[in-house]
């Protein structure tokens, strides 16, 4: 189901999941972003005693990639400590949409459960149709 490149990306997401800081929800998530020139940047969720301050793994990975100078994201892999593949929350979909608009390409989203046995692959445009954008009429 996944090619070699996708498997490697998911492995990077898994490494990040090991670094998740989720003492409140116990729900660990890791993500890894792939750029068009082959660079990989990962991220993990980072929670807070003030629950609403939690940051999702996807947004950590995307913002870290930006600081690394990555302008075009091709793909993101997400893995969660769950039985079912973890799907990005609405806010993360919108943030991914910004990354997608910026480089004018759709982003592949690979979603996995904890043991990598259940995997879903979708394009961001399928996960977030009619996303908000200033350009849309």
Binding residues vs ligand THU (CB under 6 A): 22, 25, 27, 29, 45, 47, 54, 56-58, 86, 88-89, 92
Per-residue DSSP letters for 29-94? EEEEEEETTS-EEEEE-B--SSGGG-B-HHHHHHHHHHHTT---EEEEEEEESSSSPP---HHHHH
At its nearest, how many Å lie between ligand THU and the CB of residue 135? Answer: 26
Nearer to ligand THU, 82 or 125 (CB): 82
At its nearest, how many Å lie between ligand THU and the CB of residue 27? Answer: 4
Nearer to ligand THU, 22 or 119 (CB): 22
Query: Which residue of the set 12, 14, 47, 58 is catalytic?
Result: 58
* 58 is an active site residue: yes
CA distance 102 to 122: 19
CA distance 33 to 26: 23
Nearer to ligand THU, 35 or 45 (CB): 45
CA distance 136 to 29: 32
Rounded (10°) angle between helices 57-67 and 90-103: 30
At its nearest, how many Å lie between ligand THU and the CB of residue 133? Answer: 21
Which residues participate in catalysis according to the annotation? 58
């Amino acid at each position: 189901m996944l090619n070699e490149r996708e498997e490697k990306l998911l492995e990077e997401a898994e490494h990040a999941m090991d670094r998740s800081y989720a003492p409140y929800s116990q729900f660990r998530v890791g993500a890894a972003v792939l750029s068009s020139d082959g660079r990989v940047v990962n991220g993990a969720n980072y929670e807070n005693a003030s629950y609403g301050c939690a940051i999702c793994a996807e947004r950590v990975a995307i913002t870290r990639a930006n600081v690394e100078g990555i302008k075009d994201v091709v793909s993101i892999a997400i893995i969660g400590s769950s039985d079912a593949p973890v799907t990005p929350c609405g806010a993360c979909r919108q943030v991914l949409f910004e990354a997608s608009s910026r480089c004018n390409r759709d982003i592949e989203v690979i979603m996995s459960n904890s043991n990598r046995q259940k995997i879903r692959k979708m394009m961001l445009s399928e996960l977030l149709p009619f996303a908000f954008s200033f350009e849309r009429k």
